[in-house]
Each structure stands twice: as C-alpha cells, then as structure tokens.
Structure 1
Amino acid sequence: MADLMRLLLRVSEKAANVARVCRQEAPLFQLLVQEKTGEDKNKKFVQDFKTLADVVIQEMIRHDVGAQFPEMAGFIHGEESNKFENGLGESVTVNVCSTKEETATLLSAVLDGDHTAASLLAQAIHQDPETIEANTDGVTVPLRPSELGIWIDPIDATSQYIEGREEVLEEGRLSPSGLHCALVLIGVYLRSTGEPVMGVINQPFYHKDPTGRGWRGKQYWGVSCGNVNVCSTSRPDDGAEKERGSSVVLSSNEKQAVKEALTSLCGPDKLMYASGAGYKILCVIQGLADAYVVSEGSTFKWDSCAPHALLRALGGGVVDLTKSLQSDCGVQDQETEVTYHQPSTERKGAERWANHGGLVAYRDISQLRNIIGALKGKL
C-alpha cells in the first residue's frame, strides 16, 4: 500500500500541474468552461461549472492508477462525466491515451482544433512531477488493491478556481475564499464496508512565487486502517485548543437555525465561513477550526472521502448529521459514520452519491458531542 500512496501523491501533483497550466493563459481558460446541465448539475448553485481541467485530471488519475493497479480499474470513481462538448457542438469522450501525441490529438478535438492548447495540456498530463516530498516509508497496511475503491474530486471548489482570486494565505488563519480553496482530492475506501482508509489532498495554489515563477502547491496525506493511523499533519496541541474554545466553519448560505444554535455554543466570533467542502474539512484537519457542519445534502462522496481518511488518522471523523441527531447510541458509531461504497438507490445522476443527511467533520469526539447537543431539536 506504500506503493499506492506514492502513486496517489505523484498523480495528485500531476493533477495540480494540469490545474495550474489551465490558468496560465486567459484565452485558453475561457475555452475550458462549460456549464453542467440536467442530472449532473449540483442543485446548490445557480451555475455549476464543468471544466476540461476537471475531466482531464479525473481521467489522468483513472488512467495512471488503473495502469499500475489493474484490479482497481473498475472501482475508480469521479465527480465528472468524461463527455465534453466542443464549440462546434461535437461530443468528445475524453480519455488519456498511451502517448502524449495521441492525447494531444484527442484534446485538439475538444478545443476546436487549437493544437497549441492541446499540446500544452497533453504535456502536463504525460509529464511526471519532480520529486515528491512525502515520507511514506514504513507505511504498511494489510490490504490488497482488489479490496479498494477510489473517489476523485479533480478540482474541488471549481467556482473559486474559475474566479481565480489570488488571496494571500496567512499562517494559522482560515481564508474564506480564493484560489487556495481549490483542491485535488483522492480518497481510497474499502469496497466491503465503505470505510475511508487513505487520502491525498493537493492544494495547487498554496503559494505564489514573488519572483514570477508561478504557483507552488502543498500536499497532505493520511492512512487509517486498523491500528495504523499516520498523517502528514500533526494533531494540534490539545491544551491550546481547550484554551481557544470551540470553533466551527460553515458555508455562508447555511440555515439560519444552524447558525443561531452554533453561535449559542461557540460565540459569534468562533463561527467562520469558507468556500469549498474539501477546503473546509482541510481547515478542521489543520486545526484552524474544530468542526465543519453542513445541514443539507450539498456535499458528495468525492468531496469528503479523502479528507475523511486524514481526520480518522488524527482521531476524528465525518458523521451523517441527520443520523447523529436521531441516534440513541451516541453521536459516532458504525451507523452514523459516513461511508463511500453504496449509492442512494432512489436518486438519479450525481445525487445518488450526495451526503444527503448533511455532515459534521470533526477532529475531537468531545467537540462532536457538543455540536450534536447544540443542534438537537433545532433542525
């Protein structure tokens, strides 16, 4: 499994490179945006965009993982359909081919014959990144690839990626919006139980080089399986956390009843707002917030699988909010923990994979108990 983790770190950095390449030329970027329609549209937003960068990243990860671990090929799932309509009204199925030239030819059809743009993307897809700085040596997990599935969110917080505001990240502080909220998420789960066991988060736009050499990213990873719990991010100091008090990150359009209940729990200064489900859970992982709460089914399996694995490695988790509010057995057990292997059979399209009960992402079980207690009877 150390081989799989190294591969996921490598493909996540390749994905980050593709995301950066797609933002380098404004005329190119305008070509890459297409509004989602029908059953693939996220109903939370008036406009929800599917970009070619999303599709290319997803298919690149699917191709690379499937090539090294063929027994996983049929269990690599993503947010996006790989059908893309070009400006001529032609539908093209986007795949990653065996050579850079073949991939460039396919992408050229999507890009209305723009061979320069297609070659640039194909170069990023087929170019291995520089050395990945991640110490995964000694990570031993008693699992076989044939037991695992993968969820990919190629670019979480696509709206922030498209808008492209370049906010400066302050150390130790949550930033509510900007390019840094756009993340590449790759989560690995057990096919039998749906438990998340491994996750990689790549933040492609972590730091902009002041000398004009472009953006640098940052990677986070974690493994949680049985007695093995390893994470690239250390757990924050418990004493400092207790002194600071509870804090919760939300979406700005969260229900007023939730905001009021959590204000009573935390105080108005401890409620924070940010873009992107993945980024909000990353803030919990980093200790910038104690929990992330969303009361509606506006997040999906691809949003939460990767960061869920990191939280489990740190002693936390992600629970279904509705089930936790209804549970008599406590706020976290096998019935309330979010799983990733079964769709909602009564839904269609992307909605089959939504976290319909809402969720709470937490790092400490005592914080989860406080939040569930504050929300009981309010929803």
Structure 2
Amino acid sequence: MEKEAATTSWSSFVRSLLRCGERAAHIARTIRSEESLFSLLIEEKTGASNTKLSGSDFKTLADVLIQCCIEAQLTHEYPCLAGRIHGEEESTFTNQLGESIRVVVDVCSDPGNDAALRSSVDSTASLLCSVLDRNQTASSALASAVHEPLDTSALEDEVARVGVEGCLDLDRIAFWLDPIDNTSGYINSAESADHSDHAGIHCVTVLLGVYDVATETPIAGVVAQPFYRRSANCSSDTSSSKGSDCCWNGRTLWGVSDGDTRFHSESLKQATQRTAPSNGHITVIGSRHERSSLVRCLESTGNAEVTENQATSSEEQTSPSENSATSSAKTSLSSSPSELSSSSGCRGVRFVSGHGAGYKALCVATGDADAYLLSTPSTYMWDTCAVQAVLSSMGGVIVNYTDALHSVVSCGHVPDWSALRLRYSFTGIPGEDAPKRWCNTRGLLAVRDVSLGKHLLSLCPAAQGAT
C-alpha cells in the first residue's frame, strides 16, 4: 500500500513558520533581559562543534532552546518533518557546574487549557532548572517564555493580505535553522538604537530556511530580528548592557519561492521596486575581515560614474597586468545600458562591513545594501538558506562567488545564474569534519538585481591572487 502524501497549504505552512519565528525572538529577548542570568547561559564550543575558522565559538542557552522549540513546534504540527529539521546547534548544553543536559521541549497540546499550559510550563521549568544551576526563578521565567501565548495575528493577517496560495508537499522538504545568528553580537553587543554602522544587537537574527531535498534549492525562509527597534516607551538609560524584553520591538520578514509560487512580506515590496542604488553609490556589505585587495578593487571606481562607458575609463587607470583579466569582462557587461539599469548614473562602489551573515544578506533584501559579497569560506548552510529563499521570492539570488567570478574572467559573463546558486543538503554523518561539509566553501554574492551582480563581478578579477 502506497504511503499517502503529506501535504498542506502554503498559507498554513507560512503561518506556522512565522509563529516559530516570533517565539524564537521572544525567547532571545527574555534570555538577554537580565545580566546576572545571561552570564550563566554561555558555553564555549570545542572540537567538532566549533565552526569558526579561528578563535572561539560560543553558544548560549538561547541557541539551544530556540532550536529545540522550533523543532518541537514544527514536528507537533507536521509529524512527517521529524528528522528533517537541521540546525547549527546540538540539543545539549553544559552548565557552569559541568553538567551536560539534553534540552527537550514538550509542546502543549491544548494551550487554551490553563491546566495543560501550566503542566507544560512546569515540565520545561524543571528541565531548565538543572541547566541554570538550580535557579528556579530564572527557570520559571524562561519556561513561561517558551509556552506563554503570543499574539501573532498581525503577521498571520499579512499572509492573508498577500494572498499566499498553493499546496506544499511536505515529503520533499527539509530545514536549515540558525537559532541565533551573530551569537557573539548577542553576547557582547551594546544595545544601541543606531543602525548606521551595521553593528550591534540589531544585527542578531533568527533564521528558518526550508529547502527542496531533490533540487537542493531554498523555497521558503523566515528571518526574525528580535532587537530591531527600541520601543518608544523604553528609557534611554537601559542601553548600557542588557535591557528588558519590553524595550525592544522585533520584526519578522519572510518569502516563498517555489516554482511559480512566489510571495513575500509586504514590507519588502518597496525594495523590489527600487531600481537605483541608494545615495548615488552601489553599497556592498561584507565582512570586516574581507580581503583588502578585493575591497580596494571595488572601491577604486569611487569617483567615476557607473555608466556603460565606465569600462573604457577604468581600463585606462589599471595597470597592464590587470587589463587582460578585466577588459573583456567589463566590455561585455557594460555594453548594454539596460543591463546596468540598476547602477547607471551612480557614482562608484561603497564597501561597508557588517556583523552576522543573516543580517548582511537581509540588508540586500530590504534595500539597505545593494549586494553582499564574501570571498572566503566563512558561512554555512544554516546562515544562508532562509535569506536565499527570501531574496529568490523577490527575483534576487545568492550564488557561489568563486565560480561566478571564474565565469566572468573566462568568458566575460555569467551564462547561468541558477546553476551557481548556493545548494543545500544534509548528510547526517557525524564526525570532526561535519561542519565543513555544510560550509559555503566558495564564498557568496547576494544581489536583488542580477545585472548589478554582473557589474560587480566585472570589478573583481584584478583582486584575484592579490594579497
């Protein structure tokens, strides 16, 4: 007898993802609300769990608890998803007493029943008490954050207004989650309301990415910013280190890109309609550790207008050794004014650094940056899956930077952007090299406008091999 296919409507599924994102943001704010509590919740990763190329890597109870909550909620609603929800974190946390505890969250089957809800809160509080060095007050507060009802009606109403429709075969999907992207910022950042420097607590994101197992393509994503804006009624003197949950308003953005089914948050509509980079410059966001040679090549166009004639003027300024690598690419990519419609009439490239891979890619989706470029293997599938789906729903892409650049160098253009998109899978094989198998090893380039991506790649070949 054939197994009956597990299906649901896209609208119901998106609403489920949004509820998970809101829950995650609420937990992140609650855990950070008390400095004395927060210091108990940090564990340094070691061995195979450390995904950093160098230096220390940390996880907090927020990482573990959020990932477990999302998995528990989704498998409660869709049991067929069990075993297909993958995340950056393991489900264990070691407290300051040296005890390693596996975190398990039981979803209340009837949250409208006070007795059932209290039973779930008490069960979670008992588990958390062992993690929090027997701190019952803190454990109860966190358990409440895990289970208390949240008002997600505004987000769910938006799904209805957007008109999300279509059917989803649940048997063909899997997840990559990053419960707290930019964990170091979550631990250390001051709570500044200033977003201009792309650093701080507002760069923390929760990333829920859904991909098609067969095509390895992201098809849905939810990105939550727990600390998006300080509340108007929050006193400014709480900005020193940690602050209460009520001091912050979060935001949650989403997108669906599954074949002909494409929908996204209403607030992203303005970014999709924008055809010219902001402030007269092409703003490229990237890592503060990006290669200086690449940054110099991008910014070398600083005072030159980016038009179809820029290729000629730029070639006159480059050295003979650079001309052979860049001339054909620039001529090909700049020959058509329509191809550079998104950058025509703008002045140069401005490179800015930012914190958190999810946040930097989100800046491209929201229009706060025109591109996100990373030439090094320092992001992972959990960092990019969600935002790639959001960008795809807007007509944008996240591609393999190294191979895209090679296409420009070798033939002057990128013949097939879809073939270079980042792909997603899960081997499920443990071992010391497991995180490396999930690394985006060839860098990335994220853009809303493919023609702008072509132009930026035309500026990069001169940096190849430079130090």
Q: Same fold (TM over 0.5)?
A: yes
Amino acid at match of 2:406: Q
Aligned with 1:312: secondary structure?
Answer: helix
TM-score of the superposed pair, with normalisation by structure 2: 0.76
Q: Is 1:187 paired with 2:272?
A: no
Distance (Å, rounded) in 2 between the aligned partners of 1:341 and 1:256:
32
Paired residue type of 1:195: T
Pairing 1:127–2:148 present: yes
Select which of 68, 71, 78 maps to 1:69: 78
- Structure 2: which amino acid aligns with 1:220? L
Question: Does residue 110 of structure 1 match 2:162?
Answer: no
Distance 1:47 1:117, change over 3 A: same
Please state how far the C-alpha of 1:114 moved relative to its aligned partner.
1.1
SS in 1 for 2:159: coil
- Hey, what's the Cα distance between the residues in 1 that align with 2:25 and 2:57? 21
CA distance in 2, matches of 1:342, 1:136: 30
Letter in 1 for 2:233: T
User: Could you say which residue in structure 2 is the equivalent of 1:55?
Assistant: 64
Is structure 2 residue 378 aligned with structure 1 residue 378?
Answer: no
Change (3 A) 1:132 1:297: farther
CA contact (8 A) 1:314 1:363 kept: yes
Q: Which amino acid aligns with 1:182?
A: V
1:38 to 1:129, Cα distance in 2 relative to 1, 3 A: same
For 2:33 and 2:210, the matched residues in 1 are separated by 31
Aligned residue type for 2:353:
Y
**Structure 1 residues 252, 35: closer, same or farther in 2, change over 3 A?**
same
Does structure 1 retain, via aligned residues, the 8 Å contact 2:212–2:219?
A: yes
Task: Report deviation, 1:102.
Answer: 1.3
Aligned to 1:335: 419
Q: CA–CA distance in 2 between the matches of 1:218 and 1:311? A: 17
| Distance verdict in 2 for CA 1:70–1:121, change over 3 Å | same
Q: Deviations over 1:84-140 (max 9, x none)?
A: 112222211111124221111111111111111111111111123113422112312
Q: Structure 2 CA distance, aligned partners of 1:101 and 1:182?
A: 29
State the partner residue of 1:20: 29
Deviation at 1:183, TM superposition (A): 0.6
How far the C-alpha of 1:242 sits from its partner, in A, is 8.1
Q: Could you say what secondary structure the match of 1:201 adopts? A: strand
Contact 1:331–1:369 (8 Å) recurs in 2: no
Aligned to 1:276: 356
Residues 292 and 154 of structure 1: CA distance in aligned 2, closer, same or farther (over 3 Å): same
Rounded to whole Å, the distance in 2 between the matches of 1:18 and 1:243 is 37
Contact 1:141-1:225 at 8 Å conserved across structures:
no
Which residue in 1 is equivalent to 2:55? 46
Contact preservation (8 Å) 1:262, 1:271: yes
Return the offset for 1:240.
3.8
In the superposition, relative to structure 1, how do residues 86 and 198 fare at CA in structure 2: closer, same or farther (>3 Å)?
Answer: same
The residue aligned with 1:260 is 296
* Counterpart for residue 440 of structure 2: 355
Alignment of 1:288-327 (within 5 A): 288-327=368-407
Report the CA distance shift for 1:331/1:82 in structure 2 as closer, same or farther (over 3 A): farther
Moved more, 237-246 or 96-105: 237-246
Separation in structure 2 between the aligned mates of residue 265 and residue 216 of structure 1, nearest angstrom? 39
The equivalent residue for 1:86 is 95
- Cα 1:139/1:208, change in 2 over 3 Å: same
**More deviation in 227-236 or 7-16?**
227-236
Task: Decide whether aligned partners of structure 1 residues 242 and 50 sit closer, same or farther in structure 2, where only a CA change above 3 A counts.
Answer: closer
Cα separation, partners in 2 of 1:261 and 1:75, compared to 1, 3 Å: same
Greater Cα offset, 277-286 or 236-245: 236-245
| In 2: Cα distance, 1:269 partner to 1:362 partner | 14
Deviation at 1:243, TM superposition (A): 7.8
Answering whether residue 250 of structure 2 is matched by residue 214 of structure 1, we say: no
Counterpart in the other structure of 2:224: 202
Amino acid of the structure 2 residue aligned with 1:160? G
CA distance in 1, matches of 2:130, 2:428: 35
Conserved? CA contact 2:404–2:420, under 8 Å: yes
- Percent identity between the two aligned chains: 38
TM-score of the pair, normalised by structure 1:
0.93
Letter in 1 for 2:101: V
What count of residue pairs does the alignment treat as equivalent?
Answer: 376
Out of 151, 170, 178, the residue aligned to residue 176 of structure 2 is 151
Does 209-218 or 270-279 show the bigger shift? 209-218
1:319–1:332 contact (8 Å) kept in structure 2: no
Change (3 A) 1:23 1:160: same
Is the contact made by 1:297 and 1:357 (CA closer than 8 Å) also made in structure 2?
yes
**Among candidates 277, 281, 287, match of residue 367 of structure 2:** 287
The CA deviation at 1:347 is 7.4
* Counterpart for residue 159 of structure 2: 136
Task: Mark the CA change 1:211 to 1:333 in structure 2 (over 3 Å): closer, same or farther.
Answer: closer
Q: Please tell me whether Structure 1 or Structure 2 has the larger radius of gyration of its CA atoms.
A: 2
Higher-helix-fraction structure: 2
Distance across 2 between alignment mates of 1:136 and 1:217? 18
Q: Please give the alpha-carbon distance, in whole angstroms, between the structure 2 residues aligned to 1:124 and 1:50.
A: 19
Q: 1:322·1:357 contact (CA, 8 Å) conserved in 2? A: yes
Alignment CA distance shift 1:132-1:44 (3 Å): farther
Distance across 1 between alignment mates of 2:203 and 2:151? 23
Deviations 1:209-261 (A, max 9, x none): 24234211011111111122212111434444388242200111101121112
Paired residues of 2:22 and 2:152 also in contact (CA < 8 A): no
Partner of 2:188: 163
Aligned mates of 1:247, 1:79 — CA distance in 2: 29
> 2:39 maps to what in 1?
30
Give the stretch that moved more between structures: 128-137 or 48-57.
Answer: 128-137
